[in-house]
Amino acid sequence: MTTTWRNWAGNQRATPAEVRTPSDATQLADLVRTAGQRVKPIGSGHSFSGIGITDGIQVDLRRMTGLQAVDTDRGLVTVQSGTPLRQLNELLDAGGLAMSNLGDIDSQTLAGAISTGTHGTGAAFGALATQVRGLELVTAGGSVLRISAQSKPELFQAARVGLGALGVITSVTLAVEPAFTLHAQEGPMPLDQVLTDLDELAHTNEHFEFYWFPHTDRTLTKRNNRAEPGRPLGRLRRLVDDELLSNGAFWLTCRLGKAAPRLVPAINDLTGRALSAREYTDRSYRVFCSPRRVRFMEMEYAVPRAAVGDAIAGIRRVTELTGMRVTFPVEVRFGAADDIPLSMASGRDSAYLAVHMAAGQPYRRYFDEVEAVMSTLDGRPHWGKMHGLGADELRGRYPAFDEFRAVRQRLDPDGVFANEYLDRVLGPA
Ligand SMILES: Cc1cc2nc3c(=O)[nH]c(=O)nc-3n(C[C@H](O)[C@H](O)[C@H](O)COP(=O)(O)OP(=O)(O)OC[C@H]3O[C@@H](n4cnc5c(N)ncnc54)[C@H](O)[C@@H]3O)c2cc1C
């Protein structure tokens, strides 16, 4: 029986020849060795790009979840690769541990998240893949490799953000820290002030980000810093904030914006004011992650940190010159340079700018125009989000692009893990 797979945003579909759900590395290695066709592991389907599509065997890792080992003294845990981040956060918390940084949501699987370079915010913090200390990988030949900085370092470097192109990750050893609480401060700030004070905001706060409301000079800033346990948001306040003011407000603004595009600047202005200041303290993972119930399309680019102002000015020009009306705020986050070949922050401190469009609304022109702006700033696209770049353009933007390709050639010379997206962004296997 064939089934149709769809991603979270609903813009990617696939009809795999087979869906398999192995429960351990041995079964997975047998599966790959005897597949006789292309193989593609899939996580929670939260990528917007076609990175997870296959017409061969789709490997669903839902039976490979949970902790395999905990070394509290060394701050290391080994986790099965299909573990959703939500489950991982709770397992860690129960053992008094936590991930140092997380993205906006916790629905992704651990392997899916690291494989696309998923990141949160924090000028001194790398993407989730920088927290990885070891990986177990089933290769195209069906071997099970254990790789780390000490054992097969060049494979390890590449496989931390491997785009699913190097093999199937079966477990991940992660550096974690003792569980901590974060004090969250959220509030409006004029865009000019954010840009003027950006260095200070990004460096004096452990996790700083802001949302800029297009067609306005308004932003919502978020500052999360480690703190002693304090007062979490009451359940009712959290419900009102997350569901009504965030998800509900975006749902409403998207509906209104679609019905009356000329009102979008006024609607954004109102939303920018309506999201009022709030402060609370809670367990780290509850502060980092919140639910996203409004479906949307997203493109995200990393630019050198110093280019944030130019990037925002470029997006503003796009909306002004084209007359496009954009309801969703632009999310701006920060991350530290790392040494992972295909990490968006490879070799440079970065700012991440994400543009969104409500599902069902035309996004192509907005994204294309913003992509052109990001190209002038040496921008690098998020592998799991929409973008239109190919291998020739990407090679010039990633200093170690060809090192990654060499590792891919070595591990998967026949393209067992290839698909159309990988052919485009890496070149044919
Ligand atoms: C609402 C929403 C919010 C988001 N927030 C953020 C954010 O804050 N920060 C950010 O950076 N990104 C964010 N993303 C993007 C998301 O984190 C990435 O696209 C991530 O890859 C999704 O994880 P997944 O488990 O759904 O992976 P999938 O989309 O299912 O797969 C992604 C890739 O990982 C590969 N893969 C999966 N499992 C394995 C494995 N075991 N071994 C090898 N390869 C594997 C797949 O083959 C595929 O190539 C968001 C996406 C959505 C929809």
Distance 318 CA to ligand 1 centre (A): 28
Percent of the chain with pLDDT over 70: 91
Q: What is the mean pLDDT of residues 340-359?
A: 96
How far apart (Å, rounded) are the C-alpha atoms in residues 269 and 249? 12
How confident is the model at residue 243, as a pLDDT? 58
Mean pLDDT of 156-174: 98
Please determine, for residue 293, whether its predicted confidence score (pLDDT) is greater than 80.
Answer: no
Residue intervals in the chain for CATH 3.40.462.10: 181-381
Pairing of strands 5-6, 181-190: unpaired
Write out pLDDT tens, residues 57-108. 999 999 999 999 999 999 999 999 999 999 999 999 999 999 999 999 999 9
Report whether pLDDT(235) > 80.
no
Element (H, E) at 286: helix 284-288
Beta bridge partners of 145: 137
Residue ranges around ligand 1 (CB below 6 Å): 8, 40-47, 51-52, 61, 81, 103-105, 108-109, 111-113, 115-116, 118-119, 163-164, 168-169, 292, 382, 384
Q: Which CATH class is domain 67-178?
A: alpha beta
Residue with CA at minimum distance from ligand 1 atom 36: 112
Q: Please count the other Cβ atoms lying within 10 Å of the Cβ belonging to residue 257.
A: 21
What does the pLDDT look like over 307-321, one tens digit per residue?
999 999 999 999 999
**What pLDDT sits at residue 249?**
63
- pLDDT score of 236: 60
Name the residue at shortest CA distance from atom 10 of ligand 1.
Answer: 118
Model confidence band, residue 358 (pLDDT cutoffs 50, 70, 90): confident
Read off the amino acid at residue 396. G
pLDDT, tens digit, 9 for 90 and up, residues 182-234:
999 999 999 999 999 999 999 999 999 999 999 999 999 999 999 987 767 66
Q: Report how far residue 403's alpha carbon sits from residue 397's, in angstroms, rounded to the nearest whole number.
A: 13
Rg (CA), the chain: 21
Closest atom of ligand 1 to CA, residue 164: 44
* Among 166-170, 271-275, 290-294, 410-414, the least confident range: 271-275
- Which residue from 101, 115, 330, 333 has its CB within 8 A of the most atoms of ligand 1, so it is best to mutate? 115
pLDDT the model gives residue 250: 64
Cβ(371)–Cβ(299) below 8 Å: yes
- The closest alpha carbon to 121, from 267, 224, 228, belongs to 224
Looking at residue 277, what is its pLDDT? 79
CA–CA separation, 366 and 344 (whole Å): 22
Minimal CA–CA distance to 329: which of 263, 262, 259, 267? 267
The CATH number of the domain covering residues in 181-381: 3.40.462.10
The pLDDT of residue 254 is 66
pLDDT for residue 255: 67
Pocket test for ligand 1, best of 6, 19, 42, 171 (most atoms within 8 A of CB): 42
pLDDT at 274: 65
Instruction: Please give the number of the atom of ligand 1 that sits closest to the Cα of 82.
Output: 41
Could you tell me the distance, in angstroms and rounded to a whole number, from the CA of residue 322 to the centre of ligand 1?
32
List, by residue range, all CATH 3.30.465.10 domains of the chain: 67-178
3-state DSSP assignment of residue 195: helix
Q: Residue 218: its pLDDT value, please?
A: 93
pLDDT of 241 reads 64
pLDDT at 50 over 90: yes
Across the range 255-263, mean pLDDT stands at: 71
Within 13 A of 413's CA, how many CA atoms are on the CB side? 2
DSSP letter at 231 equals: -
Query: Which residue type occupies 66?
Result: G
Dist. CA 210 → ligand 1 center (Å): 22
Ligand 1: centre distance to CA 43 (Å): 7
End-to-end Cα, the chain, rounded Å:
29
Q: What is the pLDDT averaged over residues 398-415? A: 97
Lowest mean pLDDT among 130-134, 242-246, 299-303: 242-246
**Contacting residues for 125 by C-beta, under 8 A, at least 6 apart:** 100, 101, 206, 207, 335, 336
pLDDT (0 to 100) of residue 135: 98
* pTM of the predicted protein model: 0.93
Cβ contact 5:40 at 8 Å: no
**CA-to-CA distance for 192 and 196, rounded, in angstroms?**
6
